[in-house]
């Protein structure tokens, strides 16, 4: 996990980048950056992922969207950083024919979560912290 100072630096750069992007918002809501436009700071997916993992540990969320690796019985963020391990319940079929699996997640942040793994739609799950 990154150091607090690195986290603050990443946050500052991401915020500066987001402000710069606002000038390119179209009426449709989409952002269309012209080919020659130069951002004031470089922001990478790795930086965003490091911020996400830092916040996962330092300020555990009540709800979360993550990805499930069934073979390894682990859950990850969008870049593959491990956020915990999972225990699968009994698979069932929803009213539209989709396959869902209840899961329990033991987070690396010290919080236990429960939620649904949407097996037939992809490898993602939505979870909530136990109260």
> Cα-Cα-Cα-Cα dihedral of 82, 84, 90, 94, to 10°?
-60
pLDDT more than 70, % of the chain = 100
pLDDT per residue over 87-103, tens digit each?
A: 999 999 999 999 999 99
Instruction: Judge if pTM exceeds 0.75.
Output: yes
The domain segmentation of the chain, as residue ranges, is 1-59, 61-131
pLDDT score of 27: 95
Q: pLDDT tens for residues 16-57?
A: 999 999 999 999 999 999 999 999 999 999 999 999 999 999
Rounded Cα–Cα distance for residues 59 and 101 (Å): 27
How open is the CA angle 8-10-11, to the nearest 5 degrees? Answer: 65
What pLDDT shows up at residue 109? Answer: 96
Q: What are phi and psi of 121, to 5 degrees?
A: -100, -15
């Amino acid at each position: 996990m990154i150091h607090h100072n690195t986290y603050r630096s990443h946050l500052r750069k991401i915020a500066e980048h987001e402000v710069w992007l606002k000038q390119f918002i179209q009426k449709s809501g989409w952002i269309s950056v012209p080919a020659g436009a130069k951002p004031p700071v470089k922001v990478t997916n790795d930086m965003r992922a490091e911020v996400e993992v830092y916040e996962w540990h330092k300020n555990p969320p009540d709800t979360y969207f993550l990805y499930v690796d069934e073979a390894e019985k682990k859950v990850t963020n969008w870049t593959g950083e491990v956020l915990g391990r999972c225990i699968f319940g009994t698979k069932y079929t929803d009213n539209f024919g989709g396959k869902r699996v209840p899961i329990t997640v033991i987070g690396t942040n010290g919080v236990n979560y429960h939620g649904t793994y949407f097996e037939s739609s992809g490898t993602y799950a939505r979870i909530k912290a136990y109260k």
